[in-house]
Structure 1
């Protein structure tokens, strides 16, 4: 095999983007071999840009059974991600899954277990991990030279959406159709980066406001407080209603503070002395450790979705690393599940969450359609 034959399941916003990229030959080692969507209008769009007679199916299951693909990319509504992935695993196909991994961790855990038992490649479309600024931030925090994390703060409110966005599809912004709001639709990338760079918190207390700024039944405004195993704390604030919004990610460590603004600028305030040591040894009541401000440079690479697919092809063809292993998708989902559950029950939630309790509470909301 010199190219991975990819089937795209779902020709919506992201599926159509992936189809265009593959048609234009933008992903080395991969070619488009089939596509599927349950909506006639989406299939007609694909027929308009693909060669006559190109395999276009009504359902993802048809691609999986077709024998025409080596792998599938799943880009359908969230609840369908795990069932389609597991069907593909059983058929011996490699799987790339769009974010989020699913809606509830109990189902995603089952998907991960099925992937572990199959001899296939499983990747998640966490394309923001290709961003040079976040990669450099990951290296700085996880490298250890700046010491332990003390505080994390991410204000990510530049996800503005007008009411027309939510009115564009009946499944949007509903518990039964989408499984959540800003946390599950816009923020899976941010939550993935948060845990990838800083690790998983041990406790979450969140306040999720449903339909605060839009006529929707799910959350469009969230403030969450995080506690980490080492005693560090954090805040995560997001909404789809702030204009202009903010994207500012700060991590304070023992040896300084890293600030990422707008995902395109990185500043490090590097201390001359470990703050924990300085605190214990300084003699003056108002002394502060000296800090040098550095503008951090990166390699400038930001391949996004095509970079994730290129790495996926590399793993299938040559065994090289993925951008994000499929099993890692459960981490960001665990964070959003914990935030939802905390808000629903009005209390602090320890991680890992009670998955049965979360599903019970989610299903209550799915049953109350339109509430």
Structure 2
């Protein structure tokens, strides 16, 4: 194995893990080489031996790979519950870590992972590949530069996550509390929940959410969500997500004192006020009227269309040169906290203050895991019933 390149191991060879292993094996990440993979299914290891090349070692468990001495860093793409425990085991083995989203299922578990990462001194990243999207990067840049002034409203309707019943029926772990720990918030929308706070730089002070559990589908988790958020500065936000709307919508609108940004259909529009709303309101004497607004179609920089590969490349650069990470692993807890707050609000039919009461959330989740349909078939769930450990 070449020691002048960072040796990567991929843990989990499902859809995403196989894709990561593929571009690494093809040499598409400079400075990195795929050295090993691990999966508990022999069929997936057989696929790896056929598709990834003779130089890639295969292991039947994550711990075997951690102990092998064959890798410098690992990319973890296993079921949600396993991410924190496997990351901590990797840190103990002296390995850098990149985890797939979500960071975990509940913030208490992820907070422990973050503490282990900080103590290790190793490079820790999360696969928030949408942070590499030029559209969202430009929105964040404009807001950070003060182009909107103080933010007032954040609205995201993200209902183009359509999933049929056959999708949910394709695996016993899917759409179950024991298998995935949630539905649209935990599986489809982690990127959106991350961007909801990353683009603006704001976390809500409290959330009130309404969730449909198994709405129009035979599943036990949430697949239709409407959440209302309040912020310390008086701003408000609405987050709507669904897997049963057809056709769906993906529209993000952020308003401030100096106008609004609208992201839709891959385009970014800035409605810029010639005069800020507070100044107009203070001086205008004409009764009916509104500040003059200019429509500006914001040009977007070209980016790597393979956003996942771009995150991996940034992680490898951070390992090799100390370059800053676009998605530090410790930041995975923020979007997850929004998810936990929304679910807890729906379960308790009330407001939830942030930070979330972690013990209360874990207790409520464990009650649902105890009744989860995937408990009837632990192997189908893919994780231990208590939601801990390394599968």
* TM-score interval, smaller chain: over 0.9
Alpha-carbon separation, structure 1, partners of 2:104 and 2:216: 25
What SS does the aligned partner of 1:47 have? helix
Out of 237, 241, 251, which is 2:240 matched to? 237
Give the TM-score, by structure 2 length: 0.93
**Does the CA contact (< 8 Å) of 1:151 and 1:234 recur in 2?**
yes
Aligned twin of 2:386: none
Out of 122, 125, 128, which is 2:127 matched to? 125
Report matched runs for 1:297-308 at 5 Å. 297-302=299-304, 303-308=306-311
Aligned twin of 1:11: 13
**Does the CA contact (< 8 Å) of 2:9 and 2:34 recur in 1?**
yes
Aligned twin of 2:59: 57
Aligned twin of 1:102: 104
Alpha-carbon separation, structure 2, partners of 1:57 and 1:129: 32
Alpha-carbon separation, structure 1, partners of 2:289 and 2:159: 35
Out of 264, 267, 281, which is 1:265 matched to? 267
Out of 30, 33, 37, which is 1:31 matched to? 33
How far did residue 370 of structure 1 move?
2.5
> What is the RMSD computed on CA atoms of the aligned residues?
1.1
What SS does the aligned partner of 2:361 have? helix
Deviations 1:210-243 (A, max 9, x none): 1002111000100000111100001000011111
Aligned twin of 2:343: 340
**Does the CA contact (< 8 Å) of 2:161 and 2:248 recur in 1?**
yes
Out of 78, 81, 84, which is 1:82 matched to? 84
Aligned twin of 1:46: 48
Deviations 1:288-337 (A, max 9, x none): 10000000012121440110011111000000111200100000000000
What SS does the aligned partner of 2:373 have? coil
**Does the CA contact (< 8 Å) of 1:3 and 1:313 recur in 2?**
no
Greater shift, 102-111 or 278-287, is seen at: 278-287
What SS does the aligned partner of 1:266 have? strand
What SS does the aligned partner of 1:286 have? coil
Give the TM-score, by structure 1 length: 0.98
What SS does the aligned partner of 1:35 have? strand
Aligned twin of 1:352: 355
Runs of 4+ deviating beyond 4 Å: none
Deviations 1:28-61 (A, max 9, x none): 1111010011112211211220223631111111
Alpha-carbon separation, structure 2, partners of 1:265 and 1:2: 41
What SS does the aligned partner of 1:251 have? strand
**Does the CA contact (< 8 Å) of 1:92 and 1:119 recur in 2?**
no
Report matched runs for 1:271-350 at 5 Å. 271-302=273-304, 303-350=306-353
Greater shift, 136-145 or 357-366, is seen at: 136-145
Alpha-carbon separation, structure 1, partners of 2:338 and 2:140: 19
**Does the CA contact (< 8 Å) of 1:2 and 1:317 recur in 2?**
no
Alpha-carbon separation, structure 1, partners of 2:168 and 2:175: 6
How far did residue 2 of structure 1 move?
3.2
How far did residue 362 of structure 1 move?
0.2
Aligned twin of 1:139: 141
**Does the CA contact (< 8 Å) of 2:35 and 2:55 recur in 1?**
no
For structure 2, the 5+ residue unaligned runs are: 375-391
Alpha-carbon separation, structure 1, partners of 2:59 and 2:221: 32
Alpha-carbon separation, structure 1, partners of 2:369 and 2:203: 28
- How many matched pairs? 370
For structure 1, the 5+ residue unaligned runs are: none
